[in-house]
Amino acid sequence: MKLKGAEIVWECLTREGVEVVFGYPGGANMPIYDAMLNYPVHHVLVRHEQGAAHMADGYARVSGKVGVAMATSGPGATNLVTGICTAMMDSVPVVFITGQVAAHLIGGDAFQETDVTGITLPITKHNYLVTRVDQIAETIREAFYIARSGRPGPVLIDICKNAQVEACEFVFPEKVKLPGYQPVTRSPRNLLDDAVELIEKAKKPIVLCGHGVLMSKAEEELMQFAVKTQTPVASTLLGLGAFPASHELSLGMMGMHGEAHVNLAIQNSDLVLAFGMRFDDRVTGTLKTYAPRAKKIHVEIDPSEIHKNVFVDVPLVGDLKTVLRDLIPLVDEYDHEDWKQEIRGWRTEGEARSIMNWDEDGKLHVAHLVADIWEATEGNAIVTTDVGQHQMWAAQYYALDKPNRWLTSGGAGTMGFGLPSAIGAWFAAKDQEIWAIAGDGGFQMTAAELTTAVQEGANVKVAIMNNQYLGMVRQWQEFFFEKRYSAVNMLTPDFVKLAEAHGVPARRVTQQEEVHAAIEWARNTPGPVVLEFRVEQEEAVYPMVPAGAALHEMIRRPVKA
């Protein structure tokens, strides 16, 4: 079967099971868009290529499939860069397909020519420049395999325009042969035995649940291990939802804005079991004082993460699901009741400082609003966020019992992630309730995607927490720069009018007594909806571990008098 390169692109995508593509056409990918009309793939026309990247990212996180985003050359391709970086930092499988000028024009500064493979080399798992039509099928096949296997991540394919219009015999590669890329799935028995020995000796063990638990689909194995060994489970920001928040062994989130009792448990533990996480600086605080008395077992599929930030005693390189299945039969049952009781004491002390005790002042606190949305949705919604204070409050107070319902930019910390990732999530789970909890700053970065939501009928609810500040930067300036506020006071538009201009129903909430009715109105209104909450302006997220401090050196909310 002889096909043009543009047709081969869609033949390969449909054979990979792709049902939806997020993108934006232009001169260098026009043949691909022309060929698309003959294939049963739904295309979502975004308003900015960054939106396409985040939508594909959100789709991948919820569906477990590979997301796909497209853009033309030059500015179209460079507009994807932030979203590519976001997917790379959070290990999300997305294939990005960009158009490129004809091969004979490369290097000549042709119109909209940009070396996007060079630009994205550090922020992709792999990338390709395709100059000939006969390279397309094999390249796409490899790209999907690389994106989804091992430690997932983004792959970019840059296809020259001549390759799109030329024709060749099409043969879909049934197998992928990459001798230099062989992800390890199993750890050797001797290292498993070493881990078992540490587990047997531990009196104060703690599991650190990372994004890898979700990526590996190892939620059940984590539950079996935690229950059998009676080991408390703490979560990274991206690990939330992998272990039910309501479970007695669940501690909550660790790290810079983690719960105080979680950080204290890590610092006082004698064994840290890191499952699918990379010891990010937001998790550890200063490394020289991190879990100082603890032995460390690290289960991680990416060998480059072993000993990178924290030296560990037993490295178990492999797929987390497989490693835990091998490990669970080898460990005995334990009690650890004294250790759990010690942690309960810290938790009780922390509850006395909770912002949930500050509910009679008549002000709108973001933490309370997140809890109100959690209560209204019974904790079952898919929740996306932008980045900043609202993100941390959402992580703290939207308690998740189910996996793949928490979408946030962890490693890159990308403002503007919330709305487009929610739209992508809707395409993956149209039967689910979806809320984008956004800050006034981040929302404005990708607000144009409201029209995309309208055009697609995406049933997403947007809660804008408007304090007219860049809240997290303002908090740092309050704590560490003597309240010398610099470039953080943000004049915001009328978000209700802005939403309505996009064709989205909207309400503004300024009083506590309006909150519940507004949330229910949003939930019962079909299609996209915007709620603007005028929240307390100078609220701070607690606890907070200052830069360069140890986990136990948290700034904590004062106990209310």
501-510 tens-digit pLDDT: 999 999 999 9
Report yes or no on 552 lying in a domain. Answer: no
Is there a catalytic annotation at residue 472? yes
Provide mean pLDDT across the span 67-92: 98
Distances, alpha carbon 224 to alpha carbons 191, 328, 331, 338, 348, in Å = 20, 8, 11, 21, 27
The one catalytic residue in 49, 142, 219, 539 is: 49
Is there a catalytic annotation at residue 248? no
Report yes or no on 256 lying in a domain. Answer: yes
Kindly report, residue by residue over 225-258, the tens digit of the pLDDT. 999 999 999 999 999 999 999 999 999 999 999 9
CATH number of the domain to which 34 belongs: 3.40.50.970
Report yes or no on 296 lying in a domain. Answer: yes
The one catalytic residue in 30, 112, 138, 500 is: 112
Identify whether residues 333 and 397 lie together within a single domain. no
Indicate if the pLDDT at residue 464 is higher than 70.
yes
Domain boundary, last residue among 114, 134, 169 = 169
The one catalytic residue in 88, 253, 254, 472 is: 472
Indicate if the pLDDT at residue 399 is higher than 80.
yes
Kindly report, residue by residue over 142-178, the tens digit of the pLDDT. 999 999 999 999 999 999 999 999 999 999 999 999 9
Is there a catalytic annotation at residue 111? yes
Identify whether residues 392 and 494 lie together within a single domain. yes
CATH number of the domain to which 276 belongs: 3.40.50.1220
At 71, the pLDDT band (50, 70, 90 cuts) reads: very high
Identify whether residues 201 and 152 lie together within a single domain. no
Identify whether residues 436 and 342 lie together within a single domain. no
Instruction: Give the integer Cα–Cα distance in Å for 428 and 59.
Output: 5
DSSP letter for each residue of 210-243 = -HHHHHTT-HHHHHHHHHHHT--EEE-TTTTTSS
Provide mean pLDDT across the span 449-462: 98
Identify whether residues 194 and 329 lie together within a single domain. yes
Higher pLDDT among residues 362 and 28, named by residue: 28
The one catalytic residue in 4, 65, 125, 161 is: 161
Omega of the bond leading into 543 within 30 degrees of 0 (cis): yes
List the domain range (segments joined by +) for residue 427.
354-534
Paired residues of 209 in beta bridges: 235, 275
Report yes or no on 177 lying in a domain. Answer: no
Least confident of 54-63, 69-78, 343-352, 415-424: 343-352
Provide mean pLDDT across the span 301-309: 97
Report yes or no on 183 lying in a domain. Answer: no
The answer to whether the beta carbons of residues 530 and 518 sit under 8 Å apart is no
Identify whether residues 424 and 303 lie together within a single domain. no
- Return the structure tokens found at 552: 């136990």
Report yes or no on 549 lying in a domain. Answer: no
Identify whether residues 22 and 62 lie together within a single domain. yes
Identify whether residues 418 and 340 lie together within a single domain. no
How many structural domains comprise the chain? 3
Report the share of the chain in percent with pLDDT over 70: 99
Is there a catalytic annotation at residue 456? no
Report yes or no on 550 lying in a domain. Answer: no
Identify whether residues 85 and 7 lie together within a single domain. yes
Domain boundary, last residue among 169, 202, 233 = 169
Identify whether residues 280 and 239 lie together within a single domain. yes
Predicted pLDDT at 63: 98
Is there a catalytic annotation at residue 49? yes
Q: Is 19 exposed, middle or buried (0-12, 13-18, 19+ CB in 10 A)?
A: middle
- Return the structure tokens found at 362: 């008549």
Report yes or no on 259 lying in a domain. Answer: yes
Domain boundary, last residue among 349, 370, 402 = 349
Identify whether residues 147 and 226 lie together within a single domain. no
Indicate if the pLDDT at residue 559 is higher than 90.
no
Identify whether residues 474 and 404 lie together within a single domain. yes
Predicted pLDDT at 561: 63
